[in-house]
């Protein structure tokens, strides 16, 4: 009954966000922008992004043995394999900085090392193939190439640095984990588990496949035209596999685990989105920080301009692909090439909502170091890129 009340409360809050009558307000101010951003987030990212992500994270927690995660991502795992897989995960998951959080939490709590886990955390939203292609087509091939290379390098370097900085804590965490780790008898083959996860990821990817920003008759536009057929197809395959390969107790445990992730992550995300809207507004609308301040601060290729682009981008919330048209407008207002790359490398991978959730998963100290690494590396990359293309 207690869990039922929590679910009803969360459902009521979500319904309130979904049906916020913001269009009835006769004024536009930071408070309005905060509410409008919350409603937009509830409508566009909860049902099709977060809910599937919660179930995938729950499945990782329940159906992937701790021994398997430790084998491929743990302290004794092959470093080349672990970081290679983590650094290119975003090519499969077209997710935003918030949607990747349940997946990150799932693998980290199952025993993945801090290094590979944070490499996956950065890579998930940063290395989005469609976003990189759009960047190259709309903003130029130089920015597109620099974003692709920078995102892969970032994920590996940040993961390695997080591992080295917190290596003592990671050793203690591994020792504690060894005391409770045991082999779990697998009831399905590796191929069955892989197919099951692939079907859920397929639904997540195609249900959120974004409309091309330009008139395009290519592959991405054709996929968008049939996205719902593909998404429903993957969902149907998932249902068939659940029916054939899983028993009732396993399904109950899976839903309980997904609900645990939802309770942990959802409230912090909504609070973070509200604060981000209050401070920064939405694209094209003002928050407490006027947009002209941002535009004026990111001209040229100075250290301050690149740092400001990285810092502000890290705290702003970018839905998948929205960073490209936003940046197009900023470049049109005088934003330099270096700060543009700095924002592309820091913005999609981080946001104020995601920081709040990451803190709840790995703690304040690790979160501060992770965010600082992203901002510093994005700043330095922006300066270098600006100098090269000047």
pLDDT in tens, 198-254: 888 888 778 877 777 665 557 778 888 888 999 999 999 988 988 888 888 888 888
Higher model confidence: residue 383 or residue 288?
383
pLDDT of residue 372: 93
Calculate the alpha carbon distances from 385 to 92, 194, 205, 282, 307 in Å.
27, 39, 31, 28, 14
pLDDT higher than 50, residue 180: no
Q: How many domains does the chain have?
A: 1
Higher model confidence: residue 178 or residue 282?
282
86-95, 119-128, 283-292: lowest mean pLDDT where? 86-95
pLDDT of residue 332: 64
Sign of CA dihedral 226, 283, 351, 19: negative
Q: What is the pTM of this model?
A: 0.65
Q: Would 252 be classed as within a structural domain?
A: yes
Q: Would 10 be classed as within a structural domain?
A: no
Q: Would 380 be classed as within a structural domain?
A: yes
Whole-number average pLDDT of the chain: 78
Name the pLDDT band for 95 (thresholds 50, 70, 90): low
Category of 25 on φ-ψ map: left (φ > 0), alpha (ψ -120 to 50) or beta = beta
pLDDT of residue 179: 38
* Residue 287 to residue 289: CA distance in whole angstroms: 5
What is the percent of the chain where pLDDT is above 70? 78
Q: Would 2 be classed as within a structural domain?
A: no
Mean pLDDT throughout 116-130? 78
1-5, 180-184, 258-262: lowest mean pLDDT where? 180-184
pLDDT of residue 379: 93
Name the pLDDT band for 141 (thresholds 50, 70, 90): confident
In contact, 272 and 354? CB cutoff 8 Å: yes
pLDDT, tens digit, for every residue of 274-283? 777 777 677 6
Sign of CA dihedral 42, 43, 49, 51: positive
pLDDT of residue 216: 57
Calculate the alpha carbon distances from 237 to 117, 200, 231, 253, 255 in Å.
28, 9, 10, 20, 18
Q: How many CB atoms lie within 10 A of CB 130?
A: 20
Q: Would 22 be classed as within a structural domain?
A: no
Q: Would 235 be classed as within a structural domain?
A: yes
Q: Would 271 be classed as within a structural domain?
A: yes
pLDDT higher than 60, residue 38: yes
pLDDT of residue 183: 45
8-22, 78-92, 244-258: lowest mean pLDDT where? 78-92
pLDDT, tens digit, for every residue of 281-321? 776 677 777 767 766 777 778 888 899 889 988 887 776 56
Enclosing domain of residue 262:
34-180+189-389
Q: Would 158 be classed as within a structural domain?
A: yes
């Amino acid at each position: 009954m207690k869990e039922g009340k929590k679910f009803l409360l969360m459902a009521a809050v979500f319904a309130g966000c979904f049906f916020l009558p913001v269009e009835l307000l006769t004024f536009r101010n930071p408070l309005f922008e905060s509410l409008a951003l919350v409603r937009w987030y509830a409508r566009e990212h909860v049902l099709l992004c977060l809910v599937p992500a919660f179930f995938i994270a729950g499945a990782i927690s329940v159906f992937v043995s701790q021994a398997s995660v430790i084998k491929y991502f743990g302290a004794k795992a092959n470093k080349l394999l672990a970081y290679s897989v983590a650094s290119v995960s975003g090519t499969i998951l077209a997710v935003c900085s918030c949607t990747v959080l349940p997946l990150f939490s799932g693998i980290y709590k199952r025993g993945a090392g801090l290094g590979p886990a944070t490499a996956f955390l950065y890579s998930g939203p940063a290395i989005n193939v469609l976003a990189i292609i759009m960047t190259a087509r709309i903003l130029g091939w130089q920015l597109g190439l620099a974003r692709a290379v920078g995102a892969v390098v970032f994920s590996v370097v940040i993961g390695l640095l997080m591992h080295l900085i917190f290596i003592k804590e990671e050793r203690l965490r591994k020792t504690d984990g060894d005391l409770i780790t045991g082999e779990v008898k697998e009831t399905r083959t590796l191929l069955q588990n892989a197919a099951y996860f692939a079907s859920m990821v397929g639904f997540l990817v195609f249900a959120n496949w974004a409309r091309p920003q330009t008139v395009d008759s290519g592959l991405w536009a054709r996929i968008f035209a049939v996205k719902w057929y593909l998404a429903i197809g993957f969902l149907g395959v998932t249902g068939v596999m659940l029916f054939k390969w899983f028993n009732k107790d396993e399904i109950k445990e899976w839903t309980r685990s997904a609900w645990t992730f939802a309770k942990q992550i959802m409230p912090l995300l909504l609070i973070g989105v509200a604060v981000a809207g209050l401070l920064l507004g939405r694209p094209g609308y003002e928050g407490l920080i006027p947009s002209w301040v941002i535009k004026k601060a990111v001209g040229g290729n100075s250290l301050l301009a690149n740092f400001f682009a990285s810092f502000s981008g890290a705290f702003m919330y970018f839905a998948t692909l929205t960073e490209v048209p936003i940046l197009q407008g900023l470049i049109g207002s005088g934003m330099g090439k270096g700060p543009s790359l700095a924002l592309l490398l820091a913005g999609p991978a981080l946001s104020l909502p995601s920081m709040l959730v990451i803190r709840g998963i790995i703690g304040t100290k690790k979160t501060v170091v992770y965010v600082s690494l992203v901002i510093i590396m994005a700043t330095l990359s922006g300066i270098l890129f600006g100098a090269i293309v000047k």
